[in-house]
Amino acid sequence: MEMEKDTFLQFVNRIGYDIGNKTAQNMEVQYQKGFDFMPELAMFIASYTVKKTFSRQTQAPKFIKDSICFYFKNIFEYTKQQESGIQTVPPCVHVFSAGHSFISQFKKGNHVNIVAIFISAAYLKSFLKQDIEQFQFLFNDRNDFLIEEIMTDDIVLTVNDIVKKENPGMLAEYHYKLKAMELLFHLFISLSKREKTVHQKLSESDIKSIYKVRNKLIASLHQPGSIAELKKIAGMNELKMRNIFTQVFGMGIYDYYQYMRMKEAARLLKEERLSVSEAGYQLGFENLSHFSRVFERHIGMKPKKYSMQ
């Protein structure tokens, strides 16, 4: 059933998703829409600006049994985020289990847009069938896990298709249920490419530490931090740091650094209209042939061809 704009609280209560009083009080919501296909699946879409810094405990909805949560953050564009003084948090996809509870931080001035899909594990398994072995990390020891997945063009296009296109009117619920499954399909294609790793239970401290490492990497894309420096930031030994990083982000530290470096190069070519040499030098490459090879490996085409599209 589709959610009307003025019944968001009724919607989250219906699926058992406790957002807390602080959330409603400290956010200015510009756009919201929700659909529930209970008891197996629910989806909501929201765009909001944080009015006051706060934190809250984030958990899965209670009324979708043994659920897995997929949060697609800051993928679709909304005009509000273009206003001066509003900070947009970088896009990401978070996946976590019903048993995982963590503290979410909301910083004043941040603009967030989100598509959230909650699906029961049994319902998801019914679609994965023979391919389920590739995704056992979602179902084994499911009491506590959190992963972050990279963004793909197919995910971006599908999210914007859900948000921007008009309600089809006839068979609207069927349409949006199919769109939710389409979005998960594209995500699972991406998840299938993750490096295999033994998934261990993560503490809140582990998650905070590994995000500090990730933030250090993306804050200095022109020059990677040394392993010694990253170990100090993480407060853990190298093996543990590498294992947790791969578990959460799906690739090793250096591969992740290079991928994010090439995503920034693509942005510089596309949005800033920098030349290939300017983008390469800005990101610390002295050899443009090497830059071109790395870019093609991660983006799928040479930077010159990408810039001409």
SS3 content of the chain, % helix, strand, coil (to 5): 50, 20, 30
Dihedral angle of Cα 49, 269, 217, 110, to the nearest 10 degrees: -10
- What token pair was written down for 249? 């982000």
pTM to 2 decimal places: 0.80
> Which value, to the nearest 10 degrees, does the dihedral of the CA atoms of residues 268, 274, 278, 283 take?
0
Q: What is residue 141's predicted lDDT score, i.e. its pLDDT?
A: 57
* Domains defined for the chain, CATH in brackets: 5-191 (2.60.120), 204-308 (1.10.10.60)
Q: Are strands 41-50 and 27-37 parallel, antiparallel or unpaired?
A: antiparallel
Specify whether the CB–CB gap between 278 and 296 falls below 8 A: no
CB atoms within 10 A of CB 309: 7
CA distance 285 to 193: 27
Strand 87-88 and strand 110-120: the pairing is parallel
Q: What is the pLDDT of residue 142?
A: 52
| Unique residue bearing structure tokens 């490096």 | 195
User: Quick one: DSSP state of residue 40?
Assistant: T
Report the first-to-last Cα separation within the chain, whole angstroms: 41
Report the alpha-carbon distance of residue 209 to residue 198 in Å, rounded. Answer: 19
Alpha-carbon distance values, 292 to 245, 287, 297 (Å): 27, 9, 9
Contact in structure between 216 and 234 (CB atoms under 8 Å): no
Task: Output the pLDDT for position 183.
Answer: 94
8 A C-beta contact, residue 239 and residue 252: no
Kindly give the confidence (pLDDT) of every residue in the chain, 309 residues in length, as a single tens digit, with 9 standing for 90 and above: 444 444 677 788 888 887 766 677 788 888 888 888 989 999 988 888 888 888 887 777 888 888 899 999 887 754 444 444 444 456 788 888 877 777 778 888 888 888 999 999 999 999 998 898 888 888 865 556 788 888 788 888 898 888 877 778 788 888 999 999 999 999 999 899 888 877 777 888 888 899 999 999 988 888 888 999 999 999 999 999 999 999 999 999 999 999 889 989 998 998 888 999 999 999 999 888 999 999 998 888 899 998 887
- Residue 113: CB atoms within 10 A of its CB come to 24
CA gap 217, 225 in Å, rounded: 7
pLDDT score at 144 = 64
